[in-house]
Amino acid sequence: MAKNKTFRLALVAEDPTENEKLAELFEKNGVHVTSLSIGDIALLVKKGEPGLVSKEFKDLDAVFMQAPPPLLLFVEPFLNELMERGIYCQLKPISFNLLCNKPLMYATLNARNVPIQKTTLIPEGGNVAAALKKFAYPVYLEAFHELDKTQQMLIEDKSQLTSYLKSIPFTYDVLTAKEFAKVDMHVSIVIGDEVFTAKQKWVEADLAHAQDMTKAACKHKEIILHAVKTVGLDIALVKTKGNTVVGMSATFDMEAFPHNIHEKIVDFYLRRLG
């Protein structure tokens, strides 16, 4: 690990017990740690501007936060307030907004020449069959209502698509459609400029990827780092198939990953703030 320097850190999550191992490692390196639930944080709005009133954030140096997309309306102003106070966080307001809006995120990655699955966005009332005319099957469909994913389905062929479209049991604002390759998936956690990769095998019998992950070599580090920097994250999980980015998140299960991610995050924060 990097040479330690004392500073004050808040670990923020929906369930603070998720960060117990991380807190222990930080404290062993002389860091004063406060573990908080997102529900413990108070924002007071004055004259239309939110401000932190939680006493735990007085004299704070840094925050490590994992938050799910449904909390966007709270998390975004919270992250803005951290920036205003000069408190470092691996999440940024614009980055979190992109992560919560998957159609916009993929459009942004594509605009910055990050290789992504062949993807199209279909608004409510759009001609889905026509939009997928030049797609190779299978196709993965995701339906979004506002920021929430309401449905997802793997469509194997045109006949299944026709049957599916005849009885869509939900409403949506936009559909994303992606070509879906039935191959092994590589899952990488990016911490600063370091990339730690594992592999999930494709299981044809289950039409899904195996839950278990094994360590793997990172063959497309430049693409992965380019994707993460495009979204504006310092720490992120990136899913790839070949050289193609198929998913990204700032929330992940460190325990399930076959690398010592807790230690890598602590080391990154000590170097970042030291």
Q: Domain 8-90: state its class.
A: alpha beta
Query: What is the per-residue DSSP string for 7-51?
Result: -EEEEEESSGGGGHHHHHHHHHTT-EEEEEEGGG--EEEETTEEE
Q: How many residues does the chain have?
A: 274
For residue 168, the one-letter residue type is: I
Q: Which residues of the chain have pLDDT under 50?
A: 1-4
Q: What are phi and psi of 173, to 5 degrees?
A: -95, -35
CATH fold of 99-103+182-249 reads D-amino Acid Aminotransferase; Chain A, domain 1 (3.30.470)
Residue 227 tokens, joined: 């994707």
120, 162, 158: which is closest to 141 by C-alpha?
120
Domain ranges for the chain: 8-90, 99-103+182-249, 118-179
The Cα–Cα gap between 220 and 246 comes to: 13
The answer to whether 255 and 213 have CB atoms below 8 angstroms apart is: no
Q: 55 exposed, middle or buried (CB, 10 Å; 0-12, 13-18, 19+)?
A: exposed
Rounded (5°) CA angle 29-4-38: 55
Please give the mean pLDDT across all residues of the chain.
Answer: 89
The Cα–Cα gap between 224 and 243 comes to: 9
59, 56, 50, 65: which is closest to 86 by C-alpha?
59
The Cα–Cα gap between 5 and 10 comes to: 16
Question: What residue spans of 29-140 are helical by DSSP H?
Answer: 72-85, 93-100, 102-111, 128-131
Q: How high is the pLDDT of residue 2?
A: 47
Q: How high is the pLDDT of residue 4?
A: 47
The Cα–Cα gap between 196 and 188 comes to: 5
For residue 46, the one-letter residue type is: K
Ramachandran category for residue 65: left, alpha or beta (phi over 0 → left; psi -120 to 50 → alpha): beta
Q: How high is the pLDDT of residue 85?
A: 87
The Cα–Cα gap between 59 and 87 comes to: 9
Q: How high is the pLDDT of residue 21?
A: 96
CATH number at 118-179: 3.30.1490.20
The answer to whether 144 and 174 have CB atoms below 8 angstroms apart is: yes
Residue for token digits 């938050």? 67
pTM for the structure as a whole: 0.86
